[in-house]
């Protein structure tokens, strides 16, 4: 007898064969380990793993899933459910005598399937570990967990020591299946995440294989625990040096007070810690427009073909081409000038590269602020910085300002249309050295277009501030300033050589140097 898995035939003998049996045994063992770690105690939490078999295409591989409401540490291989890719149950465990409950597939099943469908996962784990619960409660307003400059971040796919790890937080519901929509939206909104936190509940983690998922789950719990302990010590886990949460800002004197400190004065003369966060634009704010337009853009444009050809088979480049292909298809449907079809991969490397180069050249000339282009540019610039062909240029007053804000305990973030990678590259190797130690994080167009109000609402929610006015946004673009102000942020416009003129009577505060803040 054969079972059809989305058109792919799998025999009943296979369902009862070695690969499935070994994966079931592995899951039982993992559940015992996770119980010991406190991740699945009290029948909570769950686990699901695909049966890896090179003879079966990954989209058709069988899914094994633990049952719901059972003692995870006492599970046996025969207790696992066997599912197809469309969540159809191919095999269910037999009922056990009292006091065991009748078998029921995991309540997390709809969420697990979203991770399989949207991320092509090989395994997904759901933990109720106390660390994953408490870390969402430290700041009940925050929509994200952020941490940086911790060694264990290197254990998370696509991240290094200097990177900021960002995990979305969704709100809990009475039943886990009710989380499905918000879980899917979080996965879509955070394309680089491999985890979603559920406030007051736990965490879902996925990976390409059971090993990848296990490694990352261990690293996430370590980082959650570290954040909680740093918080208890009065230290800030989300800043590069993990300095004190409470700063010495109240030591500011009245003489020579800045725009911000004057505004922050209470009636009794005491200085409030204001702002809590500063968000900086790059082009025309921290960095001359000429560096972007005359150095970075030409470098990316001139090296697109070389970069794509040299890195064509890498995962990053294949993902870049996939993103661009989707964007180009949309451009063709809308009749965007300069868009040309990209042939399928069967056409060969040279044809695909040539078509992508033509589209990218048109996008750069049109100065389009689209994620697909920015991701590719970031990877091209990465090579340039690594080969010492590029060096980030910042205004002379920026390093001193960053050092001052850092000493005052003010968190500084970057928001640019360039990718997060491109942003880290600019500040990681500048004419004043590595400035990333002063930066708490980076935002790009994945939070939204810089000229749209909802983007700044998203940033406010990400940072978990009490009110949007706790954030100061500095930019050179009037439309960005207007959008940020509409979201409730404090706004200052940067006046630098080469910046576009502002409308008359714009009513925004302006500065010519960061020393004025």
pLDDT tens per residue, range 89-99: 999 999 989 99
Does the active-site annotation cover 151?
yes
Check whether 105 is labelled as a binding-site residue.
Answer: no
Tell me the mean pLDDT in the region 428-451: 92
Task: State yes or no: 126 annotated in a binding site.
Answer: yes
pLDDT at 5: 53
396 marked ligand binding residue:
no
Flag whether 302 is marked binding: no
352-374: pLDDT as tens digits = 999 999 999 899 888 888 888 98
Which helix (H) or strand (E) segment holds residue 362: the answer is helix 349-365
In angstroms, what CA-CA distances link 204 with 52, 187, 211? 21, 11, 15
Q: Residue 137 contacts by C-beta under 8 Å, 6 or more apart in sequence?
A: 199, 200
Confirm or deny that 450 is annotated as ligand binding.
Answer: yes
Token code pair at residue 333? 């449907």
pLDDT surpassing 50 at residue 267: no
- Average pLDDT (26-55) is 94
Q: What's the Cα-to-Cα distance from 374 to each of 369, 439, 488, rounded to whole Å?
A: 7, 20, 28
pLDDT score at 54: 80
pLDDT at 209 over 90: yes
pLDDT of 258 over the 80 cut: no
Pairing relation of β-strands 277-280 and 411-415? parallel
> Which single residue is written with the structure tokens 């925004």?
508
Question: What percentage of the chain exceeds 70 in pLDDT?
Answer: 92
Please give the backbone phi and psi of residue 43, each rounded to the nearest 5 degrees, phi first.
70, 0
Cβ-in-10-Å burial (0-12, 13-18, 19+) of 4 comes to exposed
pLDDT at 15 over 90: no
Q: What is the pLDDT of residue 251?
A: 41
The single residue listed with the structure tokens 């063992």 is 29
Confidence of residue 138 (pLDDT cuts 50, 70, 90): very high
**In residues, how long is the chain?**
517
Residue 221 known to bind ligand: no
Q: CATH homologous superfamily of domain 12-233?
A: Class II aldolase/adducin N-terminal domain (3.40.225.10)
Instruction: Report helix, strand or coil for 259.
Output: helix
Q: Is 281 annotated as a binding residue?
A: yes
- For 467, the enclosing helix (H) or strand (E) is none
Catalytically annotated residue among 151, 188, 294, 389: 151
Residues whose CB is less than 8 angstroms from the CB of residue 451 and which lie 6 or more positions away in sequence, other chains included? 477, 479, 480, 483
Q: Return the pLDDT at 461.
A: 85
Q: What is the pLDDT of residue 246?
A: 53
Residue 247 has pLDDT above 50, yes or no: no
The tokens describing 221, both together, are 């719990």
Report the pLDDT value the prediction gives residue 254, as an integer from 0 to 100.
39
Judge whether 63 and 48 are in contact, CB under 8 Å. Answer: yes
79 is in an annotated binding site: no
At residue 2, the pLDDT reads 53
As a whole number of angstroms, the distance between CA 421 and CA 253 comes to 39
Q: What is the mean pLDDT of residues 416-442?
A: 91
pLDDT at position 134: 97
Contact 414, 442 (CB under 8 A): yes
Question: Alpha-carbon distance 24 to 359, whole Å?
Answer: 48
CATH top-level class of 291-387? mainly alpha
Compute the chain's Rg from CA coordinates. 26
What's the distance, CA 491 to chain centroid? 25
Q: Is the pLDDT of residue 287 over 70?
A: yes
Return mean pLDDT, the chain. Answer: 89
- Contact yes or no for 3/9 (Cβ under 8 A): yes
Report the pLDDT value the prediction gives residue 263, as an integer from 0 to 100: 45
Q: What is the mean pLDDT of residues 8-16?
A: 72
Q: What does the pLDDT read at residue 3?
A: 56
pTM of the shown model: 0.69
Q: Which of 155-164, 392-401, 449-458 has the lowest mean pLDDT?
A: 155-164
Per-residue pLDDT band at 8 (split at 50, 70, 90): low
Tell me what pLDDT residue 173 has.
Answer: 94
Distances (CA, A) of 95 to 109, 126, 148: 19, 24, 47
Domains of the chain, by residue range, sit at: 12-233, 277-285+393-516, 291-387
397 is in an annotated binding site: no
Alpha helices (runs of H) in 139-209, residue ranges in sequence order: 180-189
Q: pLDDT value at position 158?
A: 86
In a 3-state reduction of DSSP, which class is residue 367?
coil
Q: What is the C-alpha separation between 70 and 369, in angstroms, rounded?
A: 50
Share of the chain above pLDDT 90, in %: 66
What tokens does 506 get? 């714009």
Distance CA 225, CA 308 (A): 41
- C-alpha atoms less than 13 angstroms from C-alpha of 338 in its C-beta half-sphere: 14
Structure tokens at 213: 């998922």
The yes-or-no verdict on residue 77 having pLDDT over 60 is: yes
Per-residue pLDDT for 59 more than 80?
no
Residue with tokens 């990848």: 212
Give domain 277-285+393-516's CATH superfamily.
HAD superfamily/HAD-like (3.40.50.1000)
| 283 annotated to bind ligand | yes
Count Cβ atoms within 10 A of the Cβ of residue 16 and give its class: 0-12 exposed, 13-18 middle, 19 or more buried. exposed
Average pLDDT over residues 326-346: 91
Residues 243-256 have a mean pLDDT of 50
For residue 50, count CB atoms less than 10 angstroms from its CB and return exposed for 0-12, middle for 13-18, buried for 19 or more.
buried
427-454 exposure pattern, b = at least 16 Cβ within 10 A, e = fewer: bbbbeeeebbbbbbbbbbbbbbebbbbe
Segment 289-335, tens digit of pLDDT: 999 889 998 999 899 999 999 999 998 899 999 999 999 999 999 99
Residue 129's pLDDT band (boundaries 50, 70, 90)?
A: very high
């Amino acid at each position: 007898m054969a079972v059809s898995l989305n058109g792919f035939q799998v025999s009943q003998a296979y369902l009862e064969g070695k690969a499935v049996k070994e994966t079931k045994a592995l899951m039982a063992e993992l559940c015992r380990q996770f119980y010991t770690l406190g991740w699945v105690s009290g029948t909570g939490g769950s686990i699901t793993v695909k049966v890896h078999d090179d003879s079966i295409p990954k989209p058709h591989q069988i899914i094994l899933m633990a049952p719901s409401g059972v003692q995870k540490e006492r599970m046996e291989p025969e207790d696992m459910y066997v599912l197809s890719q469309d969540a159809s149950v191919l095999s269910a465990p037999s009922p056990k005598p009292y006091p065991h409950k009748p078998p029921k597939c995991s309540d997390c099943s709809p969420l697990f399937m979203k991770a399989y469908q949207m991320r092509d996962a090989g395994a997904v784990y759901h933990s109720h570990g106390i660390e994953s619960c408490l870390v969402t409660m430290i700041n009940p307003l925050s929509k994200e967990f952020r941490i940086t400059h911790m060694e264990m971040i290197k254990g998370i796919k696509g991240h290094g020591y200097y990177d900021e790890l960002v995990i979305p937080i969704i709100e809990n519901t009475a039943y886990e299946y009710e989380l499905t929509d918000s879980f899917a939206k979080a996965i879509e909104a955070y394309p680089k995440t491999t985890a979603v936190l559920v406030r007051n509940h736990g965490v879902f983690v996925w990976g390409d294989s059971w090993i990848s998922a296990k490694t990352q789950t261990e690293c996430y719990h370590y980082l959650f625990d570290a954040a909680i302990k740093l918080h208890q010590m009065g230290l800030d886990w989300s800043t590069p040096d993990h300095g004190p949460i409470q700063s010495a800002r109240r030591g500011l004197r009245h003489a020579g007070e800045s725009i911000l400190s004057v505004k922050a004065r209470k009636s009794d003369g005491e200085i409030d810690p204001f702002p809590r966060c500063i968000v900086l634009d790059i082009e025309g704010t921290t960095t001359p427009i000429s560096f972007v337009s005359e150095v970075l853009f030409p470098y990316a444009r001139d090296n697109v073909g070389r970069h794509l050809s040299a890195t064509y088979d890498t995962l990053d480049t294949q993902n870049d081409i996939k993103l661009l292909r989707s964007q180009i298809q949309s451009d063709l449907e809308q009749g965007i000038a300069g868009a040309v079809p990209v042939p399928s991969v069967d056409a060969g490397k040279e044809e695909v590269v040539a078509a992508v180069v033509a589209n990218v050249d048109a996008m750069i000339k049109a100065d389009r602020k689209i994620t697909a282009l920015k991701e590719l540019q970031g990877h091209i610039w990465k090579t340039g910085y690594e080969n010492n062909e590029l060096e980030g240029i910042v205004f002379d007053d920026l390093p001193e300002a960053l050092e001052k804000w850092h000493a005052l305990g003010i968190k500084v973030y970057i928001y640019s249309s360039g990718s997060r990678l491109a942003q880290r590259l600019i500040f990681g190797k500048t004419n004043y050295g590595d400035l990333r130690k002063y930066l708490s994080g980076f935002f790009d167009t994945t939070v939204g277009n810089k000229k749209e109000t909802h983007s700044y609402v998203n940033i406010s929610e990400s940072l978990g501030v009490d009110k949007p006015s706790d954030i100061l946004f500095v930019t050179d673009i009037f439309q960005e300033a207007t959008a940020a102000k509409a979201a409730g942020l404090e706004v200052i416009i940067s006046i630098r050589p080469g910046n576009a003129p502002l409308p008359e009577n714009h009513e925004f505060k302006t500065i010519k140097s960061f020393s004025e803040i």
